[in-house]
């Protein structure tokens, strides 16, 4: 008996869904840290982790359309472009983050 498994689904489960699960756990950890500390550093980390989670969602959609979408369609290119744009935006957010002086940090 031969089982025909489309390896694209396996790749999507590991790469697309796995990325969302990992960054969902990272976001949850950041939320817990912010909830416990309620300071500027924890808030900045939560914002950065939220941006990375949205990148993971966009990447999962981009991977889905890259694996299963029709080549050359406008919608496929749009979704992949959104994923890459989200990645760039998360980098800009993280780059603009200026670490606070610990001596002036809100307590």
Task: Supply the DSSP symbol for 68.
Answer: H
* Residue span of the structural domain in which 54 resides: 9-97
d(CA 14, CA 12): 6
**Is residue 45 situated within a structural domain?**
yes
pTM: 0.75
Residue keyed to tokens 């406008």: 74
**Domain tally, the chain:** 1
What is the SS3 assignment for 99? coil
pLDDT tens string 46-80:
998 999 999 899 889 888 888 888 877 688 888 88
**Is residue 106 situated within a structural domain?**
no
pLDDT tens string 72-103:
768 888 888 888 788 888 878 778 876 666 56
> According to the model, what pLDDT value does residue 102 have?
58
Q: Which two tokens stand for residue 89?
A: 């935006």
**Is residue 1 situated within a structural domain?**
no
Q: Which two tokens stand for residue 10?
A: 């396996």
**Is residue 65 situated within a structural domain?**
yes
Helices and strands in the chain: count of H runs, count of E runs: 4, 0
d(CA 46, CA 43): 5
């Amino acid at each position: 008996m031969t089982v025909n498994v489309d390896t694209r689904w396996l790749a999507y489960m590991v790469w697309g869904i796995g990325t969302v699960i990992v960054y969902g756990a990272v976001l949850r950890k950041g939320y817990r840290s912010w909830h416990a500390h309620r300071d500027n550093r924890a808030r900045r980390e939560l914002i950065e982790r939220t941006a990375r989670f949205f990148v993971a969602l966009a990447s999962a959609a981009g991977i889905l359309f890259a694996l299963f979408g029709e080549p050359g369609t406008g919608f496929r290119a749009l979704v992949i472009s959104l994923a890459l744009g989200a990645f760039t935006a998360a980098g800009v957010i993280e780059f603009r983050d200026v670490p606070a002086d610990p001596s002036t940090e809100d307590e």
